[in-house]
Amino acid sequence: MRETEKHLIVGLGNPGEKYKNTRHNVGFEAVDFFANQHSLIFRESMRFHGSLAQGCIQDKQVILLKPMTFMNISGESIKSCVEYFSIAQEKILVVCDDVTIALGKMRMRMKGSSGGHNGLKSVLSSLTTEEFARLRIGVDFPPLEEDLSDYVLGNFTKEQQKILEELLPFTALVLTEWVAKGIAPSMQLAHSYPDCKNR
């Protein structure tokens, strides 16, 4: 196979069983589902302080990364991976949760600020650029009486988990579209859900 540019897809989350099914770990869940679909196996990497999977998707070389440094310093893991594999900024996609988006929806952007997300803040700081794609998966805004930190570190309800399970296959489709065709078609696809979720 001819040499192709490497694509890096990063799922943001927190390591450990304590955080496994929390709202803040939607990035991990999305990347895990995507890896399963493409038969990619994660392995722990001391070099990158994370869990890494590699493979060929749509004739493109793809690297998946789940930083195991905790959310607030995710950028350190990503920076080391970007530098080691010489990944271009436009070939980086970060997947994370977003409390400003309704559960069952997602938003994709070519660049932008952190929007108050601590993981994205760390990535922006470490890469010193806003020029990377991000796929934000909605987890709903917390009730007024609930602390934001407690909410994102809390588990989904059974009803919410069902909605997420329906969304993950479509999220994987969006990630595959990004690898195959780039940001514009994948953005259009991401923003079309749930209208074309049976595609």
Active site residues: 24
What interhelical angle do 74-85 and 118-127 show, nearest 10? 40
Secondary structure of residue 46 in the 3-state scheme: coil
Complete edge-to-edge strand list for the sheet that includes strand 50-57: 43-45, 50-57, 60-67, 6-11, 92-98, 133-138, 106-109
Q: Is the peptide bond before 142 cis (omega within 30 degrees of 0)?
A: no
The whole-angstrom separation of Cα 18 and Cα 113 is: 29
Burial string for 86-109 (b: 16+ CB within 10 Å, else e) reads ebeeebbbbbbbbbebebbbbbbb
Amino acid identity, position 89: Q
Cα angle, residue 50 at apex, residues 95 and 32 outer, rounded to 5°: 45
| Torsion angle defined by CA atoms of residues 126, 131, 132 and 133, in that order, rounded to the nearest 10 degrees | 140
